[in-house]
A and B are shown apart, each in its own frame.
Chain A
């Protein structure tokens, strides 16, 4: 059958799809996202509030829940600045200097994205666990890494490793080196050049990368599950607590904590969308994650 034989309404531009096809495509997109994304989102809040607001809020008030929330905030407060510092340093190193092996270095920075979080956790256990040489020495000196907070921090930094660097590198390549070179030539110190010349150019991209990093850091499960040891009140983060509550059939408590994390995720999404609308020109050109 020849496609051109189909009658075409006179008012439709040649670069538009037929109205019916267009409506069908929009319909599939809306229905698909409704089932795949909006339904799970709604279920989290519906299950959390199944026995009313007070039951839900009460479940978040007990000691273990509070300790989980504090632990997750602590881990995030350490891991995110560490990754922001790494992101800035590596982007500066990669974009301001010419050296051999640059492409390989970028590949290595991206590596954590192609490693399963569980394998990441396993690697950390093998390096720092009490059975290993390094881990055994650290434990003997009172510095346990695995089944303790440092291990959770390391696992979180591993899985969020590329976020800030990946966002900054394309932006800094695009902006070039001329402005920094001018500042240095005029006698500015390295630190001053970074603060007054580079930082204003990359601040939105930095904030964007940090946001993505924060969302992932608060919610990381697989890698943390392996290294945390899941000690209630000590090494159980919010996602780990959700798993423990869910497995104990404490559905309202599990979903209440899930709803809290979901609310934080929604705030992140909102901030991210605002950044994309306001400062699209100063973010990495491709929105690749």
Chain B
């Protein structure tokens, strides 16, 4: 076997290589790579043992655990509700459907600070939903339930928007074949349709989860921010920065970076496996 070294860039008559590569790499470096590099460098100069000491503190561990746990729960809720919503929006016809479809994107368009104060006003003890909840003895705002609701809100569109195009492309013949072979509708939905949606739904789930773990603006208003109970990890970074503890802030920031990368990696693997199972890679 002869090894021929592949050129870094294949020769072509297409113009603009230098300009487009230059703009791309320069902006990528200044905006993304150098800042993230600065965070990692700060962590390195602080030292691994010190980073681990900060991350191991009770308050930091509690906030990381809280962010992760509630993000997972919110993403699971969005997985189920998002698939249902995508199905309803693609398959059924009913009045107001177009408005409903557009409304799914509202959490993307609405600034997180606006969502935060709106949800707090709604679920606070004197708010419209909060007062209803209080009558049955439930407190939502300033508890973990409130954080969960905010995380559901910001992650709402992801699953629906990834699953919708897949449902649109399902050929009805498949369902007809399943029905002809004697499967009930529920059986077809569970064993024919659902497996087709799984890879897209998992992508949406991953995006929703990643968004929730790092979410700040919509959460801090409704959270109440009680240390060890309703304090999320991004808020701890802000608190450390306000006290000029750059080392501790960097340590928590690195922990969050590692968690989100690990999550993305894990879910990419799950996706590859579920695609293989489906037969089309």
Contacts and interface: CB of A to CB of B under 8 A. Distances in A.
B234 A221 contact: no
A99 B10 contact: yes
A144 interface: no
Contacts of B9: 97-100
Contacts of A278: none
B269 interface: no
B226 interface: no
B214 interface: yes
B180 A116 contact: no
A92 B20 contact: yes
A189 interface: yes
A246 interface: yes
Interface centre among A14, A82, A129, A240, by most chain B C-beta atoms within 10 angstroms, is: A14
B272 interface: no
A90 B81 CA distance: 35
Contact of B256 (A116, A185, A226, A266): A116
Contacts of B38: 123, 126-127, 132
B6 A100 contact: yes
Contacts of B14: 96-97, 177, 180-181, 184
Contact of A122 (B39, B111, B127, B235): B39
B152 interface: yes
Interface in A213-260: 215-216, 218-222, 225-226, 238-240, 242-243, 246, 254-255, 258
A137 B120 CA distance: 43
Chain A at the B interface: SS class: helix
A225 B214 CA distance: 14
Interface residues of B, number: 110
A4 interface: yes
Contacts of A254: 117
Nearest to B221: A246
Contacts of A100: 6, 8-9
B234 A222 contact: yes
B182 A93 contact: no
B256 A287 contact: no
A236 to B, nearest CB: 12
Contacts of B84: 25, 28-29
A180 B113 CA distance: 44
A40 B153 contact: yes
13 contacts: A3-B184, A16-B185, A44-B118, A93-B24, A97-B14, A100-B6, A119-B256, A122-B39, A184-B14, A219-B113, A243-B113, A272-B109, A287-B165
